Structure 1
Amino acid sequence: MPPDLNLNLSPLNLNSPGLLPFLKHARTHILPTFRNGIVTQSPIYVLGNQSADLDSIISAILYSYFFSRSGDSGKRGYVPLVNLPDVPSGPELRRLRPEFACALELSVSSSSTTLSMQNNKPGKEKDGEDGIVKLLREHIITVSDLREGLSPSPDVDQEEMKTKKLELDCVMVDWNNLPHKSRPDGKEEGKGSIDGLSDLATFTVNGCIDHRPDEGFVPPLERLPQGNPRVIISGPGSCTSLIVREIRERGLWPSSTSSVTEGHGQQQLNDEAGEEGKWEVQLAKLALASILIDTTNLTAEGKVTDVDRDAVSFLTERISSFSAGGAGEWGRTAYFEQIQYAKAHSLDWLTVDEIMGRDYKDWTESSPSSGEKRVVGIASVVRPLKWIVDKARNKDDDSTNIGGDELKLFLDKLMKFALERRLDVVSVMTAFGSEDGDGEGQFSRELLVWGLKDAYNDTLANFAETSKEQLGLQKWNDFPIEGSHEYTGGLYIWQQGNVSQSRKQVAPLLRQAFTN
């Protein structure tokens, strides 16, 4: 390998004041260096899970900003990396993650009504480079962007690249298990890679904050670099809530401005805080976005914990403290509703394949008897299955199977999605308002589980039986029978009566079916 592809650990200063200056510095001071074919600095990447949802993206940004300012990383700094291997930052990121684009713009704007509901929709820009697209392009780094910079020039020996990958460091947020292990047996803790970079780089996990069950991949705290967190707590509705708690406990985000003495008035606090107050409001609003969306504005039964409530209380107080008119100048509910609207309508602009991949996670399980690997993938969608089925037959969705049954058109696309990801079992979970699937009316869930090999029929039948009571599984009225073998393997589609059971609860049940 040519010497210019070796890592040179030169200093990287990301201690820029303010959210946007920090993000822009991270973007402009790293990618151009990579694009010149030379890696001259090695930051610590903060990486959310492969669904790249609002909670993952904002958790990564918040962690990177405050830990870079803490000095714990030395001079390397932390860089938030959006886990999208095929989506460069810019118009495509806005189209695929409009709720994040909306949250970012609302957070950095001086007004809480920057965007009208209608203008939150992708595709409204006339020239493809409106304000939010430019904001994303200049401040956000995706895995696709990083790959472009890391990819070697044509004169580099490709075979040598495969045997000598770049060694990068990362902190995991909103997940705790990398999909591509550095060893085939998966027994080396804390080393692996991700989709889009598995052929170029190996990540060493330096820390983790997550709100789902511990999968045993992240090394114990004593084996992580000193001072780095290992906080894996199942329960809180949002990982961002845990990030906020960790930042506060480390004294990185105090509850008041230390330079203001007791007895000074609100106006004096605002004057003395200056620009720092502006950045605090931006960071607090951005953090609130993911917490409010994940907890439905703190109303989601079974998902809201004291960690979430404390984070919202703290963030709301920070916004009030640095707003000239106090809390009356900013409405939390209106803010939540704008981002929720952007999220609810985000699927309108996607293909079926993009809809399935938008909030998708998979797990690899080993049979205790044979050791055979089995991959289980679950896609979460905020629209009913009937809506997705209708989407599958739309002409603008590249449907080539015009004369077939509507359900078959969808299942053909779902089969293609599963085969591309080498899944053994694919599942689709929907969550929506029952009146129109648009977030209005009674909340409903549906569950589709499809074993793509006949060998798994008994396993899935057992899952159906053992999970029926906990999940409240009922016949799906739009499907003529509860199970079908018309396609390869068993297909089940249910109404899910127990709507409190999200993917957090369903995934362990489905995975356990393949390990018992």
Structure 2
Amino acid sequence: MTPRVSVKAFLAIARTALTAPPSKRQTPLTFVVGNESADLDSLCSAILLAYLRTHSPPHTLHIPLCHIPRDDLSLRPEFTSVLRRAGTSPDDVINLSELPGAGSLSPADTRWLLVDHNALTGQLAQLYSAQIEACIDHHADEAKVPRDSPLRVIEKRGSCASLVVAQCRDAWDALSATSSSEEEEGARAVDANLAYLGLGPILIDTSNLQNADKTTKFDTDAAASGSSASYERKAFHDEVANLKEDITSLSLRDILRKDYKEWEDAGVRLGTSSVPQDFAFLAKKAGGEDALAERIREWAKEKDLGLMAVLTTSSDDGKFKREMLVWAQSEEAVQAAKKFEKQRSEELGLSPWNNGTLDVDGEGRWRRCWAQANIKNSRKQIAPMLREALGA
């Protein structure tokens, strides 16, 4: 691999390796994949980590994989914005639609490095869980990655991209140091492209480094290390944040699937959707609270969920707020949801949303919608609470 290849060229090389005929494919293939919500942190961290690992000894090609099908990329204009600054586009990234089936690519011929999660979920988990070799993550440790893995980093950060930058800082510096004078201008351009891949999610996940509950010294240091990119930090953050939060053109189904993750514990499938607008916005868009509830029910049915959680964030007059809806649709899920409410209401500062107009209790169904006073807790903390209530 030639040092300082552009991000766009790197993605083309990775695609060529993946799509080569089985008889000419060099195996094992090493994949870097983010979590199935495929938020900006997961998507950018996977590309950044794959690039830097590929350009570091022993120079094994790492293929970055977006954990969504190609059609879902259109739901993430914020990712498109960051990719543009990184000198590439969504057409260049590799996604689930391009992953060969097990009949063409044996799981035994793959190796997996997880970023922004430490346990595979969804369809990938069914085939490739045994091939996980490493992870870089900032979520709760699910003990799925072997303790003796050569790379196993699970630490608290506002953004997983901060961990990637820190872990690969020496490799990044070494690349810059090996550039000849003739290559220097191109090297600076590639450095700027890579910096945007790290800066985008770091700034979004920490609210431009202003969210005291999320921002750590490591996030601030990582953002500073990417300052070689010529950019105005607030303008960059605001551009990407506005694209991420503008869901006015999306259907309710697309809103619920844009940032979606699921798990299965104790025989109950839990699905969670994170939404960057409040329930008043969603109800208005749906045509009323009953219509909103029906859209959520339809999505839960489509995903075959026993327990569904919708977690919202929004800002009114500059004041950040969170709301949450939990909907149980089986007896086991109802018991778990009631346990969650009893154990976590005080901790999370839960109070009825809109006087309980979205609440339901009876006939094997249970639904609660709350305002969440404790805004420190996001899905990163709430999903484990729900899973614990299920008996995970």
Determine the structure 2 residue equivalent to 1:386: 280
* Rounded Cα–Cα distance in structure 2 between residues aligned with 1:486 and 1:208: 43
* Rounded Cα–Cα distance in structure 1 between residues aligned with 2:319 and 2:124: 38
State the SS of the aligned residue for 1:58. helix
| Structure 1 residue 166 displacement after superposition | 6.1
The two structures have a TM-score, normalised by structure 1, of 0.70
Determine the structure 1 residue equivalent to 2:271: 377
* Rounded Cα–Cα distance in structure 2 between residues aligned with 1:504 and 1:84: 20
Unaligned 5+ segments in structure 1 are 1-12, 109-131, 154-160, 181-192, 261-268, 320-328, 367-372, 394-405, 436-440
Is residue 59–residue 239 contact of structure 1 (8 Å, CA) maintained in 2?
Answer: yes
| Structure 1 residue 165 displacement after superposition | 5.8
Find out whether 1:359 has 2:259 as its counterpart.
yes
Paired letter, 1:500: K
* Rounded Cα–Cα distance in structure 1 between residues aligned with 2:379 and 2:220: 22
Paired letter, 1:515: G
Is residue 352–residue 413 contact of structure 1 (8 Å, CA) maintained in 2?
Answer: yes
Is residue 81–residue 240 contact of structure 2 (8 Å, CA) maintained in 1?
Answer: yes
State the SS of the aligned residue for 1:499. coil
**From 424, 434, 443, the counterpart of 2:306:** 424
State the SS of the aligned residue for 1:277. helix
Paired letter, 1:277: R
Assess, with a 3 A threshold, how the Cα gap between structure 1 residues 219 and 418 changes in structure 2: closer, same or farther: same
The two structures have a TM-score, normalised by structure 2, of 0.90
Superposed CA offset, 1:260-288 (max 9, x none):
9xxxxxxxx99872211111111112210
Assess, with a 3 A threshold, how the Cα gap between structure 1 residues 255 and 341 changes in structure 2: closer, same or farther: farther
Is residue 170–residue 203 contact of structure 1 (8 Å, CA) maintained in 2?
Answer: no
Is residue 237–residue 291 contact of structure 1 (8 Å, CA) maintained in 2?
Answer: yes
| Structure 1 residue 60 displacement after superposition | 0.5
Determine the structure 2 residue equivalent to 1:275: 186
Determine the structure 1 residue equivalent to 2:205: 294
Find out whether 1:216 has 2:201 as its counterpart.
no
* Rounded Cα–Cα distance in structure 1 between residues aligned with 2:198 and 2:332: 45
| Structure 1 residue 340 displacement after superposition | 1.0
* Rounded Cα–Cα distance in structure 1 between residues aligned with 2:226 and 2:331: 51
* Rounded Cα–Cα distance in structure 1 between residues aligned with 2:24 and 2:95: 17
* Rounded Cα–Cα distance in structure 2 between residues aligned with 1:283 and 1:67: 13
Determine the structure 2 residue equivalent to 1:399: none
| Structure 1 residue 67 displacement after superposition | 0.7
Superposed CA offset, 1:470-512 (max 9, x none):
111112116437x412674110000011111111121122111
* Rounded Cα–Cα distance in structure 2 between residues aligned with 1:146 and 1:39: 16
Determine the structure 2 residue equivalent to 1:142: 95
| Structure 1 residue 375 displacement after superposition | 2.1
Determine the structure 2 residue equivalent to 1:23: 11
| Structure 1 residue 167 displacement after superposition | 3.8
Is residue 270–residue 277 contact of structure 1 (8 Å, CA) maintained in 2?
Answer: no
Is residue 15–residue 22 contact of structure 1 (8 Å, CA) maintained in 2?
Answer: no
Q: Which has the higher Rg, Structure 1 or Structure 2? A: 1
* Rounded Cα–Cα distance in structure 1 between residues aligned with 2:95 and 2:355: 39
* Rounded Cα–Cα distance in structure 1 between residues aligned with 2:178 and 2:302: 56
| Structure 1 residue 352 displacement after superposition | 1.6
Is residue 33–residue 46 contact of structure 2 (8 Å, CA) maintained in 1?
Answer: yes
State the SS of the aligned residue for 2:311. strand
* Rounded Cα–Cα distance in structure 2 between residues aligned with 1:14 and 1:376: 44
Determine the structure 1 residue equivalent to 2:81: 102
**From 376, 383, 390, the counterpart of 1:507:** 383
Is residue 115–residue 136 contact of structure 2 (8 Å, CA) maintained in 1?
Answer: yes
- The RMSD of aligned alpha carbons is 2.8
| Structure 1 residue 381 displacement after superposition | 0.5
| Structure 1 residue 450 displacement after superposition | 0.9
Assess, with a 3 A threshold, how the Cα gap between structure 1 residues 142 and 279 changes in structure 2: closer, same or farther: same
Give identity over the alignment, percent. Answer: 31
| Structure 1 residue 218 displacement after superposition | 0.7
Is residue 279–residue 312 contact of structure 2 (8 Å, CA) maintained in 1?
Answer: yes
State the SS of the aligned residue for 1:490. strand
* Rounded Cα–Cα distance in structure 1 between residues aligned with 2:23 and 2:270: 38
* Rounded Cα–Cα distance in structure 2 between residues aligned with 1:283 and 1:351: 33
| Structure 1 residue 151 displacement after superposition | 7.8
